[in-house]
Structure 1
Amino acid sequence: MKTIVICSGGLDSVSLAHMVAQERELTRLISFDYGQRHRKELDYAALCAQRLGVPHDVIDLRAIGAALSGSALTDDIDVPDGHYAEESMRITVVPNRNAIMLTIAFGVAAARGDAAVATAVHGGDHFIYPDCRPAFTEQFEAMQKAALDGYADVSLYTPFVHRTKADIVTEGARHNTPFARTWSCYKGGTHHCGRCGTCVERREAFHLAGIPDPTTYEDLTFWAEAIARKERA
């Protein structure tokens, strides 16, 4: 099945791209520049496309991102430290981000004759990101069926939506994903900070999966403290 993968350059989406390349017919990667402070993730998406030998489209959404103000990912607001399950992480929500990206990806798929759009939303995202939840992905696909009725038949592929990030690490390893060539950190520094929500979740996922983490973190111990706080809450 001809499938487009929405790829940020992060661990989840790069693992998904490698999985689709082996199990389906990967046609291209599509990424979005919405003015995120960790824009360097797009370089890792480009490396993934080169590695898998498919085209890579980067869609410029910076004007839209500027209008979706109030997020630590796009505004001059400090990215909080801690686990995703902490209330403070809500400041990293970019409203309708996935809905906007998926809408564009479905349009690209319909225009190019692809049968599916794949996105790496997963169970760990459900707490703070409403457009990562099963209720959203199911209803979004139904909406797109109506939007493209009579023109194209494009499905939404979300193999991780009911699974954990540790499951993604396991699947990524099974499909030979080069984890060191992925970028998760929301702070966009030289190395992963080891303290923001994506770093904590990334470190935890490797630990739970029992797979060595090749990532260089500036803070090597904060993740355990953040998980302990989550468990006490």
Structure 2
Amino acid sequence: MKDSVIIVSGGMDSITLLYDKKDEIALGISFDYGSNHNAKEIPYAKKHCERLGIKHITINLDFIHEYFKSSLLEGAEAIPEGNYNEENMKSTVVPFRNGIMLSIAIGIAESHNLKKVLIANHAGDHTIYPDCRPEFITAINKASIAGTYVNVEVSAPYTNITKGEIAVIGKKLGIDYTETWSCYKGGEKHCGKCGTCRERIEALEYAGIEDHTEYEE
């Protein structure tokens, strides 16, 4: 039964979840909040949803770019290079981004009498991003159930696994990860140096997937 909404960015994790749960997904939602890489990611989200016969919509969140502070919103030169566990990567936090996106997705789910919202946060996000942590997912799930007539649930099945383990799932599902986008800089090619690029490289290696991503020289 197709009773779920998925927040799908066009990155590795959400595209894996899209294929993993395709039989229950009625609607895919992407959010354009003015980040450097939204324009590179969202077309992949649309492409995969269309391929699976899942309706896809993009919701514009211009106010985030206008009022929020994050290096993701300031141009490619503002994106730090290094691993997620390094202090400088905290600049990539978009404050309460998942809380905002989930709240909208929950409202859309209830409006269409759908019972679940899927999100693809994972264990590698916990160090830097507070709204990816298990305690946040637990809290917003409780709030969603309490705050909707149809008791919409928030489901984040990858919360306690790594990006590498997600890539293993994707390998089994036959996903072509060249049809996903990771780089926060949003250039013509992946930079290969920012936190998301490095995490992508490590995840594909962990899963034993040959990396055909085009990286800058």
1:38-81 CA distances to partner (integer Å, 9 max, x unpaired)? 12211111111111111111011012332112x11112461011
Query: Does the aligned pair in 2 maintain the 1:109–1:116 contact within 8 Å?
Result: yes
Equivalents in 2 of 1:195, 1:64: separation in Å?
25
Name the residue aligned to 2:101. Answer: 101
Matched, 1:177 2:175: yes
Equivalents in 2 of 1:81, 1:122: separation in Å?
21
Equivalents in 1 of 2:43, 2:138: separation in Å?
30
TM-score (norm 1): 0.89
Pairwise CA distance, 1:153? 1.8
Matched, 1:198 2:199: no
RMSD: 1.2
Name the residue aligned to 1:11. Answer: 12
The amino acid that maps onto 2:145 is: K
Aligned length: 214
Matched, 1:157 2:155: yes
Equivalents in 2 of 1:68, 1:198: separation in Å?
21
Equivalents in 2 of 1:103, 1:65: separation in Å?
18
The amino acid that maps onto 1:35 is: G
Pairwise CA distance, 1:177? 1.7
The amino acid that maps onto 1:17 is: L
Percent of paired sites with the same residue? 45
Pairwise CA distance, 1:204? 0.5
| Correspondences of 1:75-154 after superposition (within 5 Å) | 75-76=74-75, 78-148=78-148, 151-154=149-152
| Correspondences of 1:8-47 after superposition (within 5 Å) | 8-21=9-22, 24-39=23-38, 40-47=40-47
Equivalents in 2 of 1:177, 1:210: separation in Å?
13
Of the three residues 188, 211, 214, the one matched with 1:213 is 211
1:152-184 CA distances to partner (integer Å, 9 max, x unpaired)? 121111111000000110111112222110001
Pairwise CA distance, 1:114? 1.1
Runs of 4+ aligned structure 1 residues displaced above 6 Å come to: none
Pairwise CA distance, 1:20? 0.7
Equivalents in 1 of 2:131, 2:187: separation in Å?
27
Equivalents in 2 of 1:212, 1:154: separation in Å?
39
Equivalents in 1 of 2:189, 2:84: separation in Å?
20
